[in-house]
Structure 1
Amino acid sequence: MTKTVHPLPPALDRPDGQAFRDAMAQVVSAVHVITTEGPAGRLGLTATAVASVSDTPPTVLACVARTSRTLAAIEASGAFCINTLPAQLAELAEIFASRRGIDGEERFMTARWGRLATGAPVLLDAVSAFDCRLIAAHDVASHRILIGEVVGLGGEGRGAGLIYRQRRFGSV
């Protein structure tokens, strides 16, 4: 048997940040609001960089900008909740992405919230919600990867989920 060897293409320059963001805009991502409770009250942010790590024990990760006030509150409290948004709550994603001029506790007045095991705010209308105890954090570039052990589950588990692709919200 003869093995064909294909030459490697010439080395490409490392992509710049804009080229990387443009390429990532083609990737379909579920949309989440990550919440916590801090000394100043409830805080949250919109995120797409969320993933399952393990089911034994149930563990997830979320990537958050190191400059985020929500990150500081998560680390201080040791708890956070990842709320996966349903398609009809695209406006909530905009609010928690700081695109509507609504800040702090006012953000939480635009939806129905409750609490699970950790006390972090859980979106009652979430497709799914993962209430987490922070077990590790790792700095990588401009973000911190938060690892959370899931200690509670919420959400309705039905209906279309909110996605983000090509810098627009959609549903699946």
Structure 2
Amino acid sequence: MNMVDHRFDIVDQATYRNGMSRLGTSVSVVTTLSGGKRFGFTASAVCSVSDTPATLLVCINRGSSSFPAFEGSRYFCVNTLMPGQEEISDVFGGRMPSSDRFAHGEWGDGLTGVPVLANASVSFECELTNAVDEATHRVLFGRVIDIRENEERATLLYCMRRYLRG
């Protein structure tokens, strides 16, 4: 079923991006393991779907250099960053090769072998249950199979194109 009403024009890219920049969000690094190698990207599009069963979603650009690894992976981890981890966000959001990104931060292995950031605010290890393509992105739905929380209750936030401490 197509839900688009074609009587209205769609806003242009710049207007949309400016509006979305006002939608504050937590900053996460999403990781996976593919072919024995670690891959990851910075994401601000992470959302709870349900608590029964515990399920979240994350969006990845299909043009991302990390996309092929996530396309073929069954497991992934959403590592929500803390204030002071802006460099990790920048590294995983940039054009640095995936193999070099993991030199930043302290990484361990989750239950499924996916990379888990040791001092993340919270890490959600997930099993992929569904994937939906929309426009330039793929929405990954993950059933949460493990959660690791940091005792320090702080999360790195991003709003108006800058980092905030929350």
Q: Do Structure 1 and Structure 2 share a fold, with TM-score over 0.5?
A: yes
- For structure 2, the residue ranges without an aligned partner over 5 or more in a row are 1-6
Partner of 1:109: 103
What displacement does 1:157 show? 4.5
Paired AA for residue 150 in structure 1:
V
Q: What are the superposed Cα offsets for residues 61-111 of structure 1, whole Å, 9 maximum, x if unpaired? A: 00110122323212312111000000110110000001xx53222211111
Distance in 2, Cα, partners of 1:159 & 1:153: 14
What displacement does 1:56 show? 1.1
Partner of 2:21: 25
Runs of 4+ that moved beyond 3 A: none
Under a length normalisation based on structure 1, what TM-score does the superposition of the two structures give? 0.87
Contact 1:35 1:70 in 2 (8 A): no
Partner of 2:93: 97
Q: Does 1:80 pair with 2:76?
A: yes
What displacement does 1:40 show? 6.0
Under a length normalisation based on structure 2, what TM-score does the superposition of the two structures give? 0.90
Say which structure is richer in helix.
1
Contact 1:50 1:60 in 2 (8 A): yes
Larger radius of gyration: 1
Count of residue pairs the alignment pairs up: 160
Distance in 1, Cα, partners of 2:71 & 2:8: 39
- For structure 1, the residue ranges without an aligned partner over 5 or more in a row are 1-10
Distance in 2, Cα, partners of 1:171 & 1:82: 19
